[in-house]
Amino acid sequence: MTDSNLHKGYEAAYQSALARFARAVPAALALRSDTVYAEELTALRVPYLGQTYTLQWPSGAVAREGSPEEVSLPVRVLLLNYLLDAVPRTATGELIAFREIPGAATYEPSFHKRAVNPLVRTFDGKPDLLYAAAERLGGTRAATGDAAVTLPVLPLLPVTYAVWHGDEEFPAGGAVLFDASARTMLSIECLVVAASNGVYALMGVARTLKG
């Protein structure tokens, strides 16, 4: 898909989500998605990768608290659809690979390039850096791979990032893993954005930690 077509796809998804959001009951959305409806602001407050975003109701305008920068279109689509489609659930504790999510097959090569490869390049042989970066984002260590962390990307969407360190015999590898509940959480497009941005957030924090 070309960049132009991709943008058109996001724009169409955004307009559809805005229409649904305007018809929704904000307090009910907050309850279902484990977020907060600030009635005095007529806005929902959504934690996302260590930051808090506000979504005005009924307009759907999205802003990151403490930042004047415009929120990217893919993130606006993600946050709106998370509020609209999330349902209360407890994480199962069962980790699944990206390919196990319905509809993931056509996205897997791109997802590997966008998420898994940068994760491995940045954190291969640097477990302490991965742990420290995750801690800054509210994450915790996970018991898989040679080094792994789980980030609360969204309140009901934990994502686990694992690295297997390389040596003279075997190249380094990695995986981005989801709780099994993600199978019915969001569209595959939104899951790609959420999980990929988790990698970029870890990389961004790692750069600041390395000075």
- For every residue of 36-75, DSSP letters joined together read EEEGGGTEEEEEETTEEEEEETTT--EEETT--SPPPHHH
Cβ contacts of residue 22 below 8 Å, gap of 6+? 57, 58, 59, 60
The string over 188-207, giving b where at least 16 C-beta atoms fall within 10 Å of a residue's C-beta and e elsewhere, is bbbbbbbbbbbbebbebbbe
Is residue 72 located within the same domain as residue 138? no
In a shared domain, residues 78 and 181: no
Beta-bridge partner residues of 63: 54
Cα distances from 107 to residues 75, 147, 152, 170, in angstroms, run 18, 25, 22, 26
Q: What is the pLDDT of residues 84-96, one digit of tens each?
A: 999 888 889 999 9
Residue 90 located in a structural domain: no
In a domain, 104, yes or no: yes
What per-residue confidence (pLDDT) applies to 88?
86
Query: Could you tell me if residue 23 is inside a domain?
Result: yes
Do 147 and 191 fall into the same domain? yes
Residue-wise pLDDT for 130-158, tens only, equals: 999 999 999 999 999 999 999 999 999 99
Do residues 36 and 125 both lie within one domain? no
> Do 114 and 65 sit in the same domain of this protein?
no
Are residues 192 and 101 part of one domain?
yes
Mean pLDDT of 110-138: 96
Q: What is the pTM of this model?
A: 0.94
Domain of residue 58: give its range. 3-85
pLDDT-derived band at 6, boundaries 50, 70, 90: confident
Whether 121 is covered by a domain: the verdict is yes
Q: How many domains does the chain have?
A: 2
Domain boundary among the residues 28, 55, 85 is at: 85
**Do residue 75 and residue 101 come from a single domain?**
no
